[in-house]
Structure formats: C-alpha cells, structure tokens
Amino acid sequence: MKTFSIYAGLTALALTALALTATPALDHGERAFRTCAACHSIEDADGNRIAGRGAKTGPNLYGVVGRVAGSVEGFRYRDGLPAAGEAGLVWDAETLAAYIPDPQGFLREYTGDNSLRSAMAG
C-alpha cells in the first residue's frame, strides 16, 4: 500500500508539473492565433467551431498538420500553395513555422519559382 501511495503521489506531482508547464504554451498559442483568426477558423468535420470567429477568407485550419498544401476542397487558393502541394509539401510543425512569418519567401524557396504567391500576409 505504501508503494502505491508513493507512485500515486509521484504521478500527481508529474501531472501537476506538466499542466503548469503546458498552460503558458497554450496561452501563447491562443494569443498567436488571434492574428490568424482574422482570416481563418478551426472547425471540425461536423462544423463545430473550435477556434476563430468563423472567418472564411483563409481555409479552415482543422487538421492542417499532415495535409497537402493547397488542398482544401472548394477553397480558391492563389497559385503558390497548390504548386507547393504538387511539389510534395505536406504541412508539419517545421514547415508551418517556416511558412507563417514569410509565406512568399517560403513558397519561392520550396518550389524554386519566384513568381508564386500566397494570399497570406507574413
């Protein structure tokens, strides 16, 4: 019983520490998304809004990680993202981190085509 109590206490301590360290990251993510929410929303497949104000200027970002760039059905992209998707771009944390601050530069570097554009402002 004593061993169980020790493990339970350590587990509770670890979970508390994890929650405390995750909270600032979540707060930062929410603040950072406010800029994105001007054009984007995050809505699940059932249409439930998870984040954003329902803006439709940019594509829905639900499930963006693992998605081929420029591939949201029914969304009208400029030429850059579909071209990057055709060149093999699949979004992950690293590619999103490179794209968001400089969309045009990222697309040009990724595709090698300086004429490509994204509608997203960096």
- 76 in a domain, yes or no? yes
Total number of domains constituting the chain: 1
d(CA 112, CA 109): 5
Question: Which amino acid would we find at residue 19?
Answer: A
pLDDT of residue 14: 46
Per-residue pLDDT band at 94 (split at 50, 70, 90): very high
In a domain, 51, yes or no: yes
Helix, strand, coil percent content, the chain, rounded in steps of 5: 50, 5, 45
Evaluate whether residue 70 is within a structural domain.
yes
Task: Please give the residue that has the higher pLDDT: either 19 or 36.
Answer: 36
What is the structure's pLDDT at 8? 45
What range does the domain containing 93 cover?
A: 37-111
**Mean pLDDT value of segment 38-44:** 90
Residue 24 domain flag: no
